[in-house]
């Protein structure tokens, strides 16, 4: 069980069946045979050599279907080479790992090396010579080659075609089109599983017919609004292409051979559970039948319903299969053979790793666990080809990367979870998502084939046999149906292929027509296509670069804004698979504890720029400063790029290890930057662009914002509710701005434990205390924001418990009455963490892992998973357009952004390089926090976004905001925005289009653009805030309103349509007018104060001259008969205080001392001496600092003559003033606060409230009313 604040005790169960008897051991299968060296003549495919060659010679398109392990990938290219030694052969594989492995194998069999008879062509790296006849490459590289009309090759082989990647489908379509145009080469398609639609796709009729002429009806479909789906005829049959609708009777011939040299035994869930019966325990609930029912429940639905997650029992079962074989309870073996476990992705790989460690416990040293995933550094791939250490069993935890093409000679066992992660493009979120789906049968057959290549093997499929045969799809969903089509369409447009829809529509299982239309419109908005759907100069540049559009776009804007070098480096960095800062979050073992150090490194390189992209750029610059030039000489030899994966020199390795940098990725970034730069040089870029001074951070951020217009975010406080925020602030002590709070701290934790946990941060807190189960971590007032960022991240990132970053192990000593008499913190290791089931590793949970009874009581080891730290000023973010929540990725420097300026909490703009959809979350990746400028999000959207329009205020006297038409969402201007601003926006948009679309501006540095300066001028322009709470100041001060009729200019293509309004003239006032208005506002506020004071002063009073403090009423003043200028006063209660020494010395004090005998002094509440005390009477005289205040606030200065002769006349003056006051009719109305009062006392109280004064302060300053 688990609980918050209580101990958790793990029980142990014995493996018994439901009758209570011990289970009988299962019967062992045959012993595993030894691996043996296979001669190529033994391979099944070799025995069919003559038949295959005859098949290839007979047809222009040959299809070979042969089982995995039959040798088709290594032998067929050799068959062709042996018969046609002067011909050029190219083989396309799905990934570089498989292509390299097969190329090496063939080169070995031909007694050659890579670069000899067998060559390779990869991105930026080609190995060939004059002897090369067989080329290995990846599908995407071959596609690029053929689109460039290269006809060097006589034979094109596409291997593993079953994977149906986007590049594979497009390559097949382009090759089909080239064959249709009469190109003379032969195509050979190979796979272990050939879809039945493929032969029809390459039928003779299809190849000979006029390509695409009958596909579409001859209607003008361009006139249809394709964004209105009601106008879209979703005729799937029409979209499938002619070849699918008719089903030709002359399909391409398929050579099929299912012979296998070795067999792979298939074991499904039912039998797998029987195999692990001896190891059943409480985790599998003792009864295998019940476990089968529970496990099988996830297979009740068909494959249309994707799994939500991999069930924990699947990990447990996989671990038990490995353990039962490791104990030799299933098959005997001469040495421990390798298990290859196929999991959907990196998250599941880490989960399986943890479960393995938990299952094997003290036997974990018997295993050599290797992760294989695209996020793993490529140098680690070589480990899988090196034999495991003697006596150890290797377990390879792999994603789909190992599904095909590679041969791992030591693998005898496959465990297939039967799931995959597919990339799917979400049009609504404009983001790629990684969906967990059931694997197709063809994929699972390929996985099983990894075990039967050099000996018989076994595959464990963790699903019922009925589910596999009846419910799974035969083939995976084609990637082209779930991908963005922008780069594909550009490539085709670049090659003057006008019938784009026909070509894409004739792809195997073509994408929906509406997706093609939407993509073309997106490309028009990005400036890649003109309105006539012809490719522009900018589109040509996009297409020429073998990178995503965003990479080329950031380079182009970098040239435009004068930061070409930095922009191209950023383009190289975002082209990498991951950031060049290492990550140990998902690495198994004690190495994972280093992950917090990597985040410290990120914050160091960030240099307070609040940008992941600038952080990577700073890290690269630091590395390049020390080692870049030397590395450049090593990587680029004789003007050609060599491998970036050579040996890292010791000094460079030491530097990179210190800062947790990945030297291979930095080298890759250097190579990519060099390629990008060279690419621009080939189109004639002026070299002076690279010699400009380094741009400041804001210009680079401006470039980033221009590159990613659909990824703008707006901030708000994470604790949206102000009441909740204030409650948290109250808990945090006297200085909440520099304080963090960790809630639900259990009694076993003391402040020193928290200090040790956060000691990884070099800045020590000012104080750590625990108050009412809350840990309070207080820093100095002048704290560095990175200090709070790091501690907040340490306690909130998703893998914090797995890395031991936010978990404590306490040894607690209790007496027999369960009272704690001692507690100490002890070292916590990964092995101890792995003893705790994954489900219990949650914040606020305490788990007991050891418990010993002693003479004095009990000793318990408690593992405490702490709650996340809380901070009231932390920000969250929403997408600016859709207003959907966007979570910033864990390791971003902006994952814990905050501001203590509450006025700006909802005004910060964040730019993300991409969105990733995961389950119900949208994750923002590579974020950049923009500095605050008034209307920055609005102006950036107007400059770089499309499908946007202006909104007027109800009276059509000003621009109220903007509307994003694709989401029907609004963004209101919170500062003044005029028609002149709108015209400037359109001018800049036009200039950007002209500059980016004209290659001359890039080729000639002297034609520098002023666009950057115009944008900065627009952003830094003085603007008046819009106030939606205050009334119209023009009505309050009776200001004559003037309006100017603004007629919109003729809209140019790409501009934002202007509004026809009668614009308020006050938006254009200069300083003199604004000062005049301010004076009138001040005058009105003063009139409110005067009215409040006048209506309150309803009687005559004696007041202090200095502070206007009332001393006494006129009835409290008496003439002292012995002295005509001396009076006694009876003050209001508490208005005067008696002191024996005056607080200051002045002329009045000296006068009194010279003429009277004061025993003490009388002072007002503000410490001003009013009079003196003598014979228990309070005296004032003509020199006293007092004024006589009449009703309605009139002041009468008491002169010497008045003191001597006219004092009693004052009473008459007071009576007259009182009558005048009684006759007045005051209007107790405050237009600033829009409130009206009946009583003078209420009005007086309102005028003196802080709320009113604050609103008046805002009212006096310039603002735009609604």
Q: What is the 3-state secondary structure (H, E, C) of 187-216?
A: EEEEECCCCCHHHHHCCHHHHHCCCCCCCC
More confident residue, 988 or 9: 988
Task: Look at residue 224 and tell me whether its pLDDT is greater than 50.
Answer: no
3-state secondary structure of 948: strand
CATH homologous superfamily of 264-422+434-477? P-loop containing nucleotide triphosphate hydrolases (3.40.50.300)
Is-contact 809 826, C-beta < 8 A? yes
Angle at the Cα of 67 (from 33 to 273), degrees rounded to 5? 55
With tokens 């000691």, the residue in question is 759
Does the predicted model carry a pTM greater than 0.75? no
Residue range 345-366: average pLDDT?
Answer: 80
Task: Look at residue 203 and tell me whether its pLDDT is greater than 90.
Answer: no
Task: Look at residue 524 and tell me whether its pLDDT is greater than 50.
Answer: yes
pLDDT at residue 231, as a whole number: 42
Q: Name residues whose C-beta falls within 8 Å of residue 861's C-beta, 6 or more positions apart in sequence.
A: 809, 810, 811, 812, 826, 848, 849, 850, 851
Q: Name residues whose C-beta falls within 8 Å of residue 78's C-beta, 6 or more positions apart in sequence.
A: 40, 106, 109, 110, 134
If pLDDT is split at 50, 70 and 90, which confidence band does 1160 have? very high
If pLDDT is split at 50, 70 and 90, which confidence band does 834 have? confident
Instruction: Examine domains 40-216+237-258 and 264-422+434-477 and report if their fold is the same.
Output: yes
Most confident of 15-19, 225-229, 1123-1127: 1123-1127
CA pair distance 69, 405, nearest whole angstrom: 9
93-152 pLDDT, tens digit each? 888 878 888 898 899 889 989 999 999 988 778 888 989 999 999 888 888 888 776 668
42-68 pLDDT, tens digit each? 888 888 888 888 888 888 888 888 877
pLDDT at residue 817, as a whole number: 85
- For residue 673, count other CB atoms closer than 10 A to its CB: 22
Burial group, residue 825, by CB count within 10 angstroms (0-12, 13-18, 19+): middle
If pLDDT is split at 50, 70 and 90, which confidence band does 228 have? very low
CA pair distance 1239, 1228, nearest whole angstrom: 7
pLDDT at residue 962, as a whole number: 94
Residue range 411-437: average pLDDT?
Answer: 75
Please, what is the angle between helix 549-560 and helix 979-997, to 10°?
110
887-903 pLDDT, tens digit each? 999 999 999 999 999 99
728-779 pLDDT, tens digit each? 999 998 899 999 999 999 988 999 999 999 988 888 999 999 999 999 999 9
| Domain residue ranges of the chain, discontinuous segments joined by + | 40-216+237-258, 264-422+434-477, 545-707, 719-873, 933-1068, 1075-1095+1229-1265, 1101-1189
pLDDT at residue 936, as a whole number: 96
Task: Look at residue 641 and tell me whether its pLDDT is greater than 80.
Answer: no
Residue range 974-988: average pLDDT?
Answer: 92
C-alpha distances out from residue 945 to 360, 522, 948, 969, Å: 55, 11, 7, 14
More confident residue, 1191 or 244: 1191
CA pair distance 264, 414, nearest whole angstrom: 9
Query: CATH number of 40-216+237-258: 3.10.450.50, 3.40.50.620, 3.40.50.300, 3.30.460.40?
Result: 3.40.50.300
Most confident of 125-139, 922-936, 1068-1082: 922-936
- For residue 867, count other CB atoms closer than 10 A to its CB: 21
pLDDT at residue 411, as a whole number: 87
Q: Name residues whose C-beta falls within 8 Å of residue 1240's C-beta, 6 or more positions apart in sequence.
A: 1092, 1095, 1096, 1226, 1228
Q: Tell me the percentage of the chain whose pLDDT exceeds 90.
A: 28
Q: Which of 797, 843, 381, 802 is nearest to 586 (CA)?
A: 802
778-788 pLDDT, tens digit each? 999 888 899 99
If pLDDT is split at 50, 70 and 90, which confidence band does 952 have? very high
Task: Look at residue 975 and tell me whether its pLDDT is greater than 50.
Answer: yes
Residue range 664-671: average pLDDT?
Answer: 88
- Beta strand 134-138 with 118-122 is parallel
Task: Look at residue 16 and tell me whether its pLDDT is greater than 60.
Answer: no
CA pair distance 591, 746, nearest whole angstrom: 29
If pLDDT is split at 50, 70 and 90, which confidence band does 227 have? very low
Q: Return the structure tokens found at 87.
A: 């011909």
Residue range 504-531: average pLDDT?
Answer: 77
Angle at the Cα of 914 (from 137 to 843), degrees rounded to 5? 110
pLDDT at residue 1184, as a whole number: 87
Among the listed ranges 30-34, 561-565, 818-822, which one has the minimum average pLDDT value? 30-34
Residue range 429-433: average pLDDT?
Answer: 52
Helix (H), strand (E), coil (C) string for 863-915: EEECCCCECCCEEEEEECCCCCEEEECCCCCCCCCECCCHHHCCCCEEEEEEE
CA pair distance 747, 820, nearest whole angstrom: 9
If pLDDT is split at 50, 70 and 90, which confidence band does 433 have? low
Is-contact 808 827, C-beta < 8 A? no
If pLDDT is split at 50, 70 and 90, which confidence band does 213 have? very low
CA pair distance 367, 1047, nearest whole angstrom: 78
Mean confidence (pLDDT) of the chain = 81
Residue 10 sits at φ, ψ, to 5 deg, of: -90, 135
pLDDT at residue 676, as a whole number: 87
Is-contact 273 462, C-beta < 8 A? no
CA pair distance 236, 632, nearest whole angstrom: 53
pLDDT at residue 916, as a whole number: 86
Residue range 706-712: average pLDDT?
Answer: 89
If pLDDT is split at 50, 70 and 90, which confidence band does 426 have? low
Residue range 352-370: average pLDDT?
Answer: 81
More confident residue, 688 or 570: 570
Q: Name residues whose C-beta falls within 8 Å of residue 190's C-beta, 6 or more positions apart in sequence.
A: 63, 64, 65, 66, 72, 73, 76, 157, 158, 159, 160, 161
Task: Look at residue 609 and tell me whether its pLDDT is greater than 90.
Answer: yes
pLDDT at residue 1198, as a whole number: 63
If pLDDT is split at 50, 70 and 90, which confidence band does 1163 have? very high
Quickly count helices (H) and strands (E) in the chain: 42, 49
Give me the residues paired with residue 1043 across strands. Answer: 1064
Is-contact 46 40, C-beta < 8 A? yes
Residue range 521-525: average pLDDT?
Answer: 74
With tokens 């040495």, the residue in question is 335
pLDDT at residue 529, as a whole number: 81
If pLDDT is split at 50, 70 and 90, which confidence band does 351 have? confident
pLDDT at residue 921, as a whole number: 86
With tokens 């479960």, the residue in question is 355
Q: Return the structure tokens found at 1010.
A: 């002023």
What b/e readout covers 1226-1252, taking b as 16+ CB neighbours within 10 angstroms? eebebbbbeeebeebeebbebbeeeeb
Task: Look at residue 190 and tell me whether its pLDDT is greater than 60.
Answer: yes
Residue range 520-536: average pLDDT?
Answer: 76
CA pair distance 94, 165, nearest whole angstrom: 8
Is-contact 641 124, C-beta < 8 A? yes
pLDDT at residue 781, as a whole number: 87
Task: Look at residue 219 and tell me whether its pLDDT is greater than 50.
Answer: no
CA pair distance 787, 779, nearest whole angstrom: 9
Is-contact 340 415, C-beta < 8 A? yes
pLDDT at residue 892, as a whole number: 95
More confident residue, 1192 or 520: 520
Q: Which of 610, 869, 872 is nearest to 737 (CA)?
A: 872
DSSP conformation class of 535: B
pLDDT at residue 1221, as a whole number: 61
1195-1246 pLDDT, tens digit each? 666 666 656 555 556 666 666 666 666 556 667 889 999 898 888 778 888 9
Q: Which of 1189, 1187, 1182, 1143 is nearest to 1166 (CA)?
A: 1143
Q: What separation, in Å, do the N-terminal and C-terminal C-alpha atoms of the chain show?
A: 59
CA pair distance 397, 377, nearest whole angstrom: 15
Task: Look at residue 325 and tell me whether its pLDDT is greater than 60.
Answer: yes
CA pair distance 552, 570, nearest whole angstrom: 10
H or E segment and range at residue 93: strand 89-93
Among the listed ranges 2-16, 598-612, 982-996, which one has the minimum average pLDDT value? 2-16
């Amino acid at each position: 069980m688990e609980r918050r604040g209580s101990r958790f005790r793990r029980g142990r169960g014995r493996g018994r069946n439901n009758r209570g008897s011990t289970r009988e051991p299962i019967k062992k299968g045959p012993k595993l045979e030894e691996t043996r060296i296979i001669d190529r003549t033994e391979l099944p495919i070799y025995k069919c050599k003559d038949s295959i060659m005859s098949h290839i010679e007979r047809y222009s398109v040959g299809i070979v279907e042969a089982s995995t392990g039959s040798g088709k990938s290594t032998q067929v290219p050799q068959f062709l080479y042996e018969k046609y030694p002067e011909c050029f052969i190219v083989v396309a594989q799905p990934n570089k790992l498989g292509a390299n492995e097969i190329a090496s194998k063939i080169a070995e069999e031909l007694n050659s090396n890579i670069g000899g008879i067998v060559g390779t062509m990869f991105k930026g790296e080609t190995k060939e010579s004059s002897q090369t006849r067989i080329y290995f490459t990846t599908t995407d590289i071959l596609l690029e080659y053929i689109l460039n009309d290269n006809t060097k090759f006589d034979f094109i082989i596409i291997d593993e075609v079953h994977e149906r990647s986007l590049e594979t489908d497009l390559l097949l379509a382009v090759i089909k089109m080239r064959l249709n145009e009469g190109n003379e080469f032969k195509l050979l398609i190979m796979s272990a599983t050939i879809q039945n639609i493929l032969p029809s796709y390459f039928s003779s009729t299809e190849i000979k017919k006029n390509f695409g002429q009958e596909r579409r009806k001859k209607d003008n479909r361009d006139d249809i609004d394709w964004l209105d789906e009601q106008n879209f005829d979703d005729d799937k049959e029409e979209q499938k292409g002619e070849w699918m609708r008719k089903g030709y009777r002359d399909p391409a011939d398929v050579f099929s051979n299912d012979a296998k040299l070795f067999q792979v035994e298939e074991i499904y869930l039912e039998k797998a559970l029987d195999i692990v019966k001896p190891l059943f325990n409480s985790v599998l609930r003792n009864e295998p039948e019940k476990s089968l029912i529970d496990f099988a429940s996830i297979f009740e639905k068909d494959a249309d319903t994707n799994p939500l997650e991999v069930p924990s029992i699947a990990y447990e079962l996989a671990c038990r299969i490995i353990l039962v074989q490791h104990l030799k309870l299933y098959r005997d073996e001469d040495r421990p053979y390798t298990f290859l476990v196929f999991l959907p992705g990196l998250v599941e790989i880490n989960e399986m790793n943890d479960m393995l460690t938990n299952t094997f416990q003290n036997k974990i040293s018997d295993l050599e666990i290797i992760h294989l995933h695209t996020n793993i550094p490529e140098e680690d791939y070589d480990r899988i080809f090196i034999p495991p250490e003697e006596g150890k069993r290797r377990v390879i935890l792999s994603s789909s990367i190992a599904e095909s093409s590679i041969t791992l000679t030591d693998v005898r066992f496959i465990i297939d979870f039967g799931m995959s992660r597919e990339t799917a493009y979400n049009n609504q979120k404009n983001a790629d998502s990684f969906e967990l789906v059931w694997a197709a049968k063809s994929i699972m057959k390929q996985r099983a084939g990894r075990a039967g290549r050099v000996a018989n093997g076994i595959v464990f499929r963790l699903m019922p046999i009925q589910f596999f045969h009846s419910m799974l799809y035969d083939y995976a969903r084609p990637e082209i149906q779930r991908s963005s089509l922008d780069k594909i369409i550009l490539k085709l447009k670049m090659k003057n292929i006008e019938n784009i829809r026909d070509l894409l529509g004739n792809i195997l299982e073509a994408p929906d027509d509406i997706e093609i239309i939407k993509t073309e419109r997106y490309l028009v908005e990005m400036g890649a296509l003109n309105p006539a759907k012809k490719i522009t100069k900018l589109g040509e540049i996009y297409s020429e670069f073998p990178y995503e559009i965003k990479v080329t776009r950031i380079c182009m804007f970098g040239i435009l804004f004068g930061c070409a070098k930095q922009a191209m480096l950023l383009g190289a960095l975002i082209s990498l698979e991951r950031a060049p800062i290492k990550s140990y979050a998902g690495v198994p073992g004690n190495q994972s504890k280093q992950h917090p150090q990597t985040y410290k490194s990120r914050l160091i390189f960030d240099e307070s720029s609040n940008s992941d992209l600038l952080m990577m750029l700073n890290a690269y610059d630091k590395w390049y400063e020390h080692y870049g030039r030397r590395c450049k000489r090593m990587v680029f030899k004789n003007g050609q790029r060599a491998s970036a994966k050579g040996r890292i020199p010791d000094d460079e390795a030491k530097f990179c290890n210190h800062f947790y940098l990945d030297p291979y990725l930095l080298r890759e970034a250097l190579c990519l930057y060099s390629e990008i730069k060279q690419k621009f040089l080939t189109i004639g870029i002026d070299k002076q662009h690279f010699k400009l001074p380094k741009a400041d951070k804001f210009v680079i951020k401006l470039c980033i914002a221009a590159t990613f217009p659909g990824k703008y975010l707006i901030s708000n406080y994470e604790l949206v509710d102000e009441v909740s925020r204030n409650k948290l602030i109250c808990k945090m002590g006297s200085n909440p701005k520099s304080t963090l709070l960790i809630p639900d701290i259990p009694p076993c934790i003391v402040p020193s434990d928290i200090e040790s946990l956060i000691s990884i941060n070099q800045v020590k807190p000012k104080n750590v205390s625990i108050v009412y189960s809350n840990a309070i971590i207080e820093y100095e007032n002048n704290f560095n924001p990175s200090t709070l960022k790091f501690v907040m991240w340490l306690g909130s990132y998703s893998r914090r418990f797995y890395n031991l970053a936010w978990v404590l192990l306490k040894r607690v000593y209790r007496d027999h009455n369960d009272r704690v008499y001692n507690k100490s913190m002890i070292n916590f290791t990964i092995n101890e963490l792995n003893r705790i089931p994954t489900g219990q590793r949650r914040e606020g949970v305490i788990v007991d892992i050891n418990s010993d009874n002693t003479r004095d009581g009990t000793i318990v080891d408690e593992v405490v998973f702490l709650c996340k730290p809380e901070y009231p000023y932390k920000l969250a973010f929403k997408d600016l357009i859709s207003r959907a929540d966007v979570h910033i990725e864990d390791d971003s420097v902006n994952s814990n952004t905050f501001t203590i300026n509450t006025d700006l909490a909802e005004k910060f703009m964040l730019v993300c390089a991409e969105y990733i959809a995961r389950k119900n979350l949208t994750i923002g990746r590579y974020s950049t926090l923009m500095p605050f400028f008034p209307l920055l999000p609005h102006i950036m959207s107007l400059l770089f976004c499309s499908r946007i329009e202006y909104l007027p205020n109800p009276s059509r006297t000003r621009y109220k905001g903007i509307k994003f038409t694709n989401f029907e969402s609004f963004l209101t201007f919170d500062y003044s925005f005029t028609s002149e601003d709108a015209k400037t926006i359109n001018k800049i948009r036009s200039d950007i289009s002209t500059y980016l679309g004209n290659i001359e501006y890039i080729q000639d540095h002297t034609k520098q653009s002023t666009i950057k300066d115009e944008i900065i001028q627009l952003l830094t322009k003085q603007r008046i805030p819009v106030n939606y709470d205050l009334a119209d100041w023009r009505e309050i001060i009776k200001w004559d309103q003037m309006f100017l009729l603004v007629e919109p200019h003729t809209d140019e293509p790409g501009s934002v349509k202007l509004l026809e309004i009668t614009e308020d003239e006050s938006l254009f006032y200069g300083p003199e007018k604004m000062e005049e208005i301010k004076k009138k506002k001040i005058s009105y506020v003063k009139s409110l104060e005067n009215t409040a004071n006048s209506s309150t002063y309803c009687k005559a009073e004696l007041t202090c001259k200095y502070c206007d403090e009332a001393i006494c009423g006129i009835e409290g003043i008496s003439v002292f008969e012995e002295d005509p200028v001396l009076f006694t006063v009876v003050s209001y209660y508490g208005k005067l205080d008696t002191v024996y020494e005056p607080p200051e010395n002045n002329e009045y004090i000296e006068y009194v001392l010279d003429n009277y005998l004061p025993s003490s002094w009388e002072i007002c509440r503000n410490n001003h001496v009013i009079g003196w005390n003598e014979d228990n009477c309070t005296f004032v005289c003509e020199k006293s600092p007092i004024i006589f205040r009449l009703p309605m606030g009139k002041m009468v200065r008491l002169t010497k003559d008045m003191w001597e002769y006219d004092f009693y006349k004052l009473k008459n003056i007071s009576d007259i003033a009182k009558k005048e006051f009684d006759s007045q009719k005051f209007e107790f109305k405050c237009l600033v606060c829009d409130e009206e009062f009946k009583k003078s006392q209420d009005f007086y109280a309102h005028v003196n409230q802080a709320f009113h004064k604050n609103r008046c302060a805002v009212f006096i300053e310039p603002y735009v009313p609604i």
